A and B are shown apart, each in its own frame.
Chain A
Amino acid sequence: MKGRIDPVQRALAQSRLDHLSRQMGHAMTRTARSPIFAQAHDFSCFLADARGFVVAQADGIPIHTGSGGFAVRAILRDAPGLAPGDAFLLNDPYLAGGNHLPDWVVAVPAFARGALAGFACVRAHQSDIGGGAAGTYNPEATEIFHEGIRLPVLRLIEVGRVREDLWRLLLANSRTPDLLDGDLRAMLGAARLGAAGLTQLAEEVGAAWCGISEAILAHAEALQRRAFQSLPPGTYEGEETTDTDGRNAALIRVQARLTIAASGEARFDFNGSSPQVEGFKNSPYANTVSAVGLALAAFFDPTIPRNEGRLRAVAIDALEGSCVNPRPPAPVTMCTVFLAHEIIHAVWKALAQADPERASAGWAKNLFGVMSGLRADGSRWVGYHAQAAAGSGAVAGRDGFDSIGHLCTLGGLAIPNVETQERDYPVRVLRQELRRDSGGAGCWRGGTGVHYAVRLLAPSTQSFRGEGVGAGGGYGICGGHDGAPGAMTIRFPDGREEPAPRYGLGSLPAGAELHADSPGGGGWGDPRARDPALVAADVRDGLLSVQAARDLYGVVCDVRGVIDRAATEALRAER
């Protein structure tokens, strides 16, 4: 980089890059075929500089934030002779900087004045990519080969010409070739739109482009460094575990050791984490970095630009062969949800020691799975039991959200209405209501989780993902308590009841019911410091028992929430 960057030009360029990546997102939702894009927004659009660093990213799904650069740098490494009109495709976490196989990346290089200016990329979760189970998640996988087709860096389009043989190979490896075909075209369209915009911008600013893109990264890096400088220097540790790898009962430990030097230099060391596991929760390095990036953005100021410069302010060590940086052929598909959840929690716990005020209590782990069955005309319906969504952790100043989507989306996925659910699928939802005494007690309490019950009106197949069954309550922090664990049972039409399995597949007859209590989020701070009026309101609202109000919060009140002030003061003074 030479010469001084015009600060006005830098600010204009950053705003244009952000706008351009949003336009790519609109193009995706406008043109993509499968509902996963338009409804769940399970994709992200990003722009990288000529060195492969992400300079702008539209608000896609939060767990995609931070891993895109690995893919672009794999292209720079493996595809010499980039030319205008080329487009690349990849997905493999071991070969091509991918995060997990269902997320395919289409990247289009942009040129200005005859030189590479950068890349416009779309990463998107495909409906089906072959492998051992329809719909990309195979809980039986023990090797990545069981999880779908592996794509190293592929030149899908060579100087404007589609490699038709390759295209046919891709379609041949999907159970939903029509959707894949349409979605790939949508991804290409959006990436080309981004590349054209990038070319235009780079041509307009001319020779200053390299300096400007570097200045954009350096700006985010400087803001993130300042954020670390706001913490006292030292070493902080956080650890989170899970008791299943999706196949077997197994204790998986994610350990994050954060070191902050007096200079603000920060390092996360995950080397105390468990070795890689047999099941599909292993987190490839790119996903681990993304999870750390998500945790940092949520902990610090979310307005720090979420480009890759931000991550230059922190070193991330993860031992090869561990669950946070597995070696091939370990399976990985579940990692964007679980292990991402555990990684984010471990990072948050370490940060909480450095700055308890900003700490977030743990989000509960979800326990709902997927149901499917056949319609009268033989077509298949597939739906989620998302009405069972679990509670989130509290932060200082807000109670946990009582029922919300996965942590890796930061609650960005919507729960369908019961009415829609009952119109779309042969089910009757019996209950979707907040639990009592389940949110982790605290000065700010954890989200409650819900009672969810559903009767299946037709024979169905259930794919269980009971991470939060018998476990899963979010951790309490700063003196707050853990959230209550979840539970799930199956009731058969003959009245027989049995516990639901954690993971795996099961067939249920018409009339069978699932009854779930989703786990609660963790509390923040000492429950006895909670405003008695808020405690009493929870009692009045039936979210807290009179007994728990007294025992956990030191508040004496009746079931209508009328507080006995004297008794409360006396009880709270006891400690």
Chain B
Amino acid sequence: MAGRRLPEKTGSRQTKVPLPNPSPVTALSVRSLRPPFRIGIDVGGTFTDLVLADADGALLVRKTPSTPAQPEDGVFTALALAAKALGRDAPGLVADTALLVHGSTVATNAVLEGKLAPIALLCTAGFRDTLAIRRGMRADPWDHRAPFPAPLVPRHLRLPVRGRLAPDGTEWEPLEEKDVLDAAETIGASDVEAVAIGFLHAYADPAHERRAAALLRQALGEHPAARHIVCSSEVLPIVGEYERIATVAMHAALAPRIARYLAALEARLKALGYPRQLLLVQSNGGACTVAQACARPANLVLSGPAAGVAALAALAGPETGEDFVAIEIGGTSCDVTLMRGRRVELAESLEIAGHPLAVPAVAIHTVGAGGGTIAGVDGAGALYAGPRGAGARPGPAGYGLGGTEPTVTDAQLLVGRLAPGPFAAGALTLDATLARAAIERRLAVPLGIALEDAAAGVLRLVTQAIAQAVEEITLRRGLDPRRFVLVAGGGAGPMFGCEVAERLGIARVLVPGLAGAFCAFGMLAADIRLDRSAPFSALLDGAAVAAAAEQLAALEDEARKELTGEGFDAETIVVQWEACLRYRGQHGSLRVAFGDAQGLRAAFEAEHEARFGHLQPGGVIEFVSLSLTASASLPRPSSRRHTHDAAPHETRRAVWFFGHGMMAARVLDSPPPHGMPLAGPALLALDTTTVVIPPGWAARTLAAGDILLEAAR
């Protein structure tokens, strides 16, 4: 499975944007909210979002600027704001809180900013350079001038230890304990704060790694590194030393910082009187406890966005189905994600700052297409849009913050989809003169075309790029995009939703009602989730299946013990067994639900046919590995509602639509009331986004407050 880059929006750049006013979804009579409460808090690069659900599923949203130097400060500010809205104090709020789920960019930022702990690696003698050679893989071979990122461990701290296992775990050479003691001496004299241990074939037998860890811990004594010793056989027993060791090294390099942060957060919560466990969202969209996060901190790097994907499950309903492809479009990029049958589409690995992490993570396909995406004319006279963006400062020319290059937002302003004046809930002001000047000077004049054609041209290019991104993530998996409902989120997503859908033959577009704090809301929808795997090599037959079941049962036993040990109700734990299989001779493998030999063969063949378009009738199938997912369900809102109080205020203006050009459109400042669909051409100019309803489409507000757009048949 190909690794992929982290979406831009999880970047750590702190932008100074004035705080928007409270969203109208909080305009409920909040003092009537009833405990017990459930709270999701998402610490993003710019804002810390809080979503609180009461016993009946009524929601309260609060936003406060993030505090990167002390991220926990933002968390407590958000809690204080929520408490105030409820007419309580913070201790009064947390005492009545049944569940507190937290997502954070702390791990993400540490990696992106290179603020990782200095670590050492104990590795098999003769193989010191696994992390430097990187299997020779280049993300973009053509860009050969780009260097590899520096390895997480410099060579002089990659310490060789003699001792060698065979692929089946038998010992080719015994562990040379003297080498471990030598390594301890080197580490003891260094500023290293954590140690990763990754020996060849340790997944097959952890004995060498365990012995080395014990010796090291003893020899290091009071040295800080003794507190964070991570063995590859413990945290990630998979075949493939590069990906395994790179992941284990990342766990180690994050461990000291994450442990400090979570300890501080837990201590302050306890001091407030919060009686329960703090939970964290992992890259796989599931939650875990603080202890679990400290054992595998690299599992947190996609924490926030993963919760946003998990939140798609809350959109499932009789009118919307449960298969979604989502476009989340912010200032710099568009993230495309998938959910099928309430299950988030996962990738087997991800890549962050050039480092591979072999942990299951939500599959996110990112393209450089956002509101701030810059359009221009290149040296040979050709129009382009993206991937470069103008960021928050100077931002689009129309922000009046000094930007001179035309962006997508400027184009939207020029064709009437955005109006001059207050923008993003009043945080910014749009200036049409500046937008017009930028498009004229940088696009219309050099191309020799009319101003509006230039602006519309930019929108056509970006719409096509987003549609192509959706095709990438669906067709590549052998899925037909027309089967899905397109979820359009983020500040700029609802402006593109219908026209992207039209290009793809998708007939329904959903704009979530809680677009402003979707990730924090997703945290309320998360379950506890634990992924475990073990290598298993055998040809697929009855005897192998029996042996595999035995091994899975042992894994399950451990997983259940871990979850019940953390205080989760044994009754609510659900375990799914899976197996990775391949035809003999293949290198890749496919993951299918576990079953008997016949069932496994059928499941494998069906998946192979769907993904690759063919199968080998009667082909020899072999096991590669076994895995399981254990989840414990958490209390969650039985339903949700957020209402839009005021009746919409209506105006008219000229707006450009694909295939129609400029035409008069109705503009409403809040969603249409229940039972009163709004037919295009129209716009919904909401506080934090604008929904474009082209001719031939109609919008209606669903009971939960989401807006469903449907194409006329």
Contact = CB atoms under 8 A, between A and B. Distances in A.
Nearest to A218: B380
Given A11-B382, A430-B126, A543-B155, A33 B614 contact: yes
Interface in B163-217: 166-167, 172, 200-201
Contacts of A220: 380
Nearest to A221: B380
Contacts of B201: 419, 422
A437 B167 CA distance: 33
A219 B465 CA distance: 20
Contact of A411 (B144, B156, B384): B144
Interface in B454-475: 454, 456-457, 460-461, 464-465, 468, 471-472, 475
Contacts of B385: 11
A283 interface: no
Interface stretch (A15-23, A70-78, A142-150, A495-503): A15-23
B172 A428 contact: yes
A397 B156 CA distance: 23
A182 B612 CA distance: 12
A475 interface: no
B614 A398 contact: no
Interface stretch (B76-84, B146-154, B642-650): B146-154
Interface in B604-624: 611-614
B585 A405 contact: no
B141 A62 contact: yes
B240 A415 contact: no
B572 interface: no
The interface centre, meaning the residue of A26, A182, A418, A453 with most chain B CB atoms within 10 A of its CB, is: A418
A12 B126 contact: no
A419 B241 contact: yes
A140 interface: no
Contacts of A31: 612-614
A31 B143 CA distance: 29
Given A31-B614, A219-B380, A411 B155 contact: no
A389 B135 CA distance: 10
Interface in A404-421: 404-405, 409-420
B143 A542 contact: no
Interface in A20-45: 22-23, 26, 30-31, 33, 35, 38-39
Contact of A398 (B145, B449, B613): B145
Given A11-B383, A219-B380, A419-B200, A542 B126 contact: no
A458 interface: no
Nearest to A417: B240
Given A7-B457, A19-B471, A62-B142, A401 B200 contact: no
A24 B256 CA distance: 46
B447 interface: yes
Contacts of B156: 540-542, 561
Contacts of A540: 154-156
Interface residues of B, number: 67
A8 B457 contact: yes
Contact of A223 (B241, B379, B457, B464): B379
Nearest to A32: B612
Contacts of B243: 417
Nearest to B461: A11
B127 A415 contact: no
B133 interface: yes
A16 B468 CA distance: 8
B478 A15 contact: no
A414 B133 contact: no
A389 B136 contact: yes
B380 A226 contact: yes
Contacts of A414: 135-137
B136 A433 contact: no
A401 B126 contact: no
A307 to B, nearest CB: 13
Contacts of A433: 126-129
Given A23-B471, A397-B147, A405 B457 contact: no
Nearest to A451: B126
Interface string B562-593: 00000000000000000000000111100000
A398 B147 contact: yes
Contacts of B141: 59, 62, 409-412
B533 to A, nearest CB: 15
A324 B322 CA distance: 59
Contacts of B597: none
Contacts of B377: 7
A429 B140 CA distance: 29
Interface in B228-276: 239-243
B652 interface: no
B381 interface: yes
Contacts of B611: 30
B223 to A, nearest CB: 20
Contacts of A11: 382-385, 457, 461
A422 B154 contact: no
A35 B612 CA distance: 12
Contact of B144 (A33, A410, A419, A428): A410
A219 B144 contact: no
Given A403-B136, A432-B126, A434-B132, A30 B460 contact: no
The interface centre, meaning the residue of B127, B138, B144, B381 with most chain A CB atoms within 10 A of its CB, is: B144
A219 B138 contact: no
B558 interface: no
B154 A541 contact: yes
Nearest to A403: B133
Contacts of B380: 219-220, 222-223, 226
B129 A434 contact: yes
Interface in A178-217: 182, 186, 189
A398 B146 CA distance: 7
A302 B377 CA distance: 18
Given A31-B612, A409-B141, A26 B475 contact: yes
A419 B471 CA distance: 35
A75 B515 CA distance: 54
Given A415-B135, A433-B126, A423 B449 contact: no
A20 to B, nearest CB: 9
Interface string A73-94: 0000000000000000000000
B476 interface: yes
Nearest to B611: A30
A397 B145 CA distance: 8
Contacts of B113: none
A419 B240 contact: yes
A248 B355 CA distance: 44
Contact of B136 (A16, A405, A430): A405
Contacts of A411: 136-138, 141, 144
Given A35-B587, A423-B167, A433-B128, A8 B142 contact: no
Interface in B376-396: 377-385
B70 interface: no
A342 interface: no
A458 B78 CA distance: 66
Nearest to B242: A417
A351 B708 CA distance: 58
B154 A537 contact: yes
12 contacts: A7-B381, A7-B382, A11-B385, A14-B382, A39-B587, A182-B614, A298-B142, A402-B133, A403-B129, A411-B136, A415-B137, A418-B200
Interface of B: 126-130, 132-133, 135-138, 140-148, 154-156, 166-167, 172, 200-201, 239-243, 377-385, 447, 449, 453-454, 456-457, 460-461, 464-465, 468, 471-472, 475-476, 478, 537, 585-588, 611-614
Interface of A: 6-8, 10-12, 14-16, 19, 22-23, 26, 30-31, 33, 35, 38-39, 59, 62, 182, 186, 189, 219-220, 222-223, 226, 297-298, 302, 360, 389, 392, 395, 397-399, 401-405, 409-420, 422-423, 428, 430-434, 450, 453, 537, 540-543, 561
Given A30-B478, A540-B156, 7 more contacts: A8-B383, A62-B141, A395-B145, A409-B141, A419-B241, A434-B129, A543-B155
